[in-house]
Amino acid sequence: MNTTRIEGTVATGFESVRDEFAAFVTETDGQTGSQLAAYHHGRLVVDLWAGDGTGPDTLTGVHSVTKGATTLVTALLVQDGLVDLDLPVARYWPEFGRAGKAAITVRDVMSHRSGVIGIPGGFTVEELVDERLVADRLAAEAPLWRPGTAHGYAGFTVGALLNEVVRRTTGQTIQEVYAERVREPYDLDFHLGLPEELEPRYRDIRPWTATPEQEAAFAAYSPNPDGIAGIGYNLGERGFTPETVMTFPNARIVRATGPASAGGVASARGIAKLYAATIGEVDGRAPLLKPETLTEFTTIHSTGTNLVTGDGSPFALGFEAKGLIHPFLSARAFGHTGSAGADGIADPLHGIAIGYTRSLAAFAFDAPERGRFAAAIAGAAAGLGGEES
């Protein structure tokens, strides 16, 4: 019998979310070490956690949820008029224009349509934390498909590409702009570069547990390291195995530098507040993005078969198109998942923002409880009304 305590609070009207969270904790014997947080029209309405060693302030690696913060920084520069989505990347970063990449636009990169997703053999962890090195290597590569004709997820490299555009434009890195304009003014517990003094709050990502049969089935679907999917997933002799993908943020050098593709560290509160601040007023501060910028970045850009993941994972600009993934959300919903199971979601129409973390990596990178929690939160918010136009 599971005896894991469900800690935290929910606002009136969101009791069903606590019930769903408790059901999941029971099903998993409290082993996942999960946090769930949500805002509704700028107010924290869900703040839950459960599992040994997991508290409200626990931080853990959130992998590609990081891309939400990276995209937000890029959106701010577009909003400021410093970056034009439809100009070639080479306009900002001339060296990128080599090897058939002269016409690739910032929009192509952000919608995963550039064809520039990695290198044969992969990058080591030590290389991935040096985003200028990654950018230099990618600048020498030819696209793996004709840019703009298809999309393929650049899971470990898109942040380095955008970081070089940001650095060439502002003289600062994405991490520096994020800290200055987003994390510090909005007091977010979501870090691209975790200070040493916050290290005691970090909890390692634990590799998934599976039966031999499950592991064999997973291995049977592992892509060829030299193919498009393998390059996109950074496999190969220098790259990742499934276990090292999961434990990537456990290396202090990753947490310290916060690579813009997948090196972020956060709590669920921090993720939820980031998205709440993106779409609306929080703590008396204006939304980070203007309506026209939000519309631009949440417009669907990439659908159909993803050449890396092999599924139909749809993208807006930088963000996943959450409204196509979860039919109970509006068409404008956006966010980003992380490979160990973390998630971030915003739905401007319903005024909701969600953050979720877990320290036990989800088997085969699949955490179906994310959809359950999002459905419960969206349902509770709908019951209270108050949609925005």
Q: Which H or E element spans position 294?
A: helix 291-298
How far apart, in whole angstroms, are the C-alpha atoms of residue 177 and residue 60?
22
| 226, two tokens | 């030299």
Among the listed residues 16, 34, 64, 389, the single catalytic one is 64
Sign, Cα dihedral of 267, 335, 47, 51: negative
Tell me the angle at which helices 66-79 and 268-279 cross, rounded to the nearest 10 degrees.
20
Q: Please tell me the distance from the alpha carbon of residue 213 to that of residue 247, in angstroms, as a whole number.
A: 22
Question: Which one, of 228, 258, 245, 263, lies nearest residue 114 by Cα?
Answer: 228
- Could you please report the per-residue DSSP string of 350-375? TTEEEEEEESBPPGGG--THHHHHHH
DSSP letters spanning 169-183: HHSS-HHHHHIIIII
Q: Are 383 and 45 in contact (CB under 8 A)?
A: no
Class of residue 343 by CB neighbours under 10 A (exposed 0-12, middle 13-18, buried 19+)? buried
Distance separating alpha carbons of residues 119 and 238, to the nearest angstrom: 10
Asked about 111 being catalytic, the answer comes back as no
Which token pair is 276?
Answer: 């709440």
Q: How far apart are CA 213 and CA 207, in angstroms?
A: 17
| Count of other CB atoms within 10 angstroms of residue 86 | 8
d(CA 289, CA 36): 24
Give catalytic residue positions. 64
